[in-house]
Structure 1
């Protein structure tokens, strides 16, 4: 039979008892990471991401796959990386130098013409375009993919 004794010497405190350590807070969290490389100006979709456990310190400011869906890469992003807000920008529906359809609407009248974008723009953003038929520069608003709406003055 084995008996355990604790000896306390005068002027000394007892040694702390050994207990099993309490479970540490979870060091990792599940976060969305890219499954493949994404080039600058490419749009990302929710399907470009997969869940992965990462250390909590590495995922500060990470976007979910849902929040990133439909945005464009502001720079080249590599597979396995956590995507943050600064890595993505709003999708540009009109790009400088590309052909666009210009629509001039005034009441029930609507006129369309071919044009070329002089600046980039996302949905609802102002852009400058050149009407190819008249070579006039116009100010408009991005109305969709490759479409610019100009209002009559």
Structure 2
């Protein structure tokens, strides 16, 4: 006898559905999610496991294309990308009170506090730095 059948015979029905946030429309990779991108639907508890609330997902970016009606989980999202591969960046080399600023190009992308490689436009030198804002990379002086 199955567990579900045994529970039903004992008077315990199947688990009640729970309300979860689902996408109201398709989302493309790299799109930042907002509260308005979600609707609420009833789903089975097993299917809802790991689902993020609309508030938890807001402000994050889609790590891949997401379809309408899907539950969003942590693996579907990533930190907002403040620097994207190939885009121009401002490089700041900081040593105490001394700050040298240069323009450059990102060799990879990332979010706040992540490491990124950049190449300076003036010297063509490749440097490793930390993303500290939108289009801004900080290089710690040796």
When normalised by structure 2's length, the TM-score is 0.85
Matched residue, 1:51: 40
Work out the number of aligned pairs and report it. 133
Match of 1:67, SS?
A: helix
Q: Distance in 1 between matches of 2:34 and 2:100?
A: 34
Match of 2:46, SS?
A: helix
- The structure 2 residue matched to 1:124, chosen from 104, 113, 117, is 113
- The structure 1 residue matched to 2:78, chosen from 83, 86, 89, is 89
Higher helix share: 2
RMSD: 1.7
Larger Rg: 1 or 2? 1
Counterparts of 1:67-86 in structure 2 under 5 Å?
A: 67-86=56-75
Name structure 1 gaps, 5 residues minimum.
Answer: 1-20
Q: Distance in 2 between matches of 1:24 and 1:145?
A: 52
Matched residue, 2:94: 105
Give the C-alpha shift of residue 23 in structure 1. Answer: 6.9
Contact map agreement 2:91 2:139 (CA 8 A) in 1:
yes
Give the C-alpha shift of residue 91 in structure 1. Answer: 2.0
Name structure 2 gaps, 5 residues minimum.
Answer: 1-9
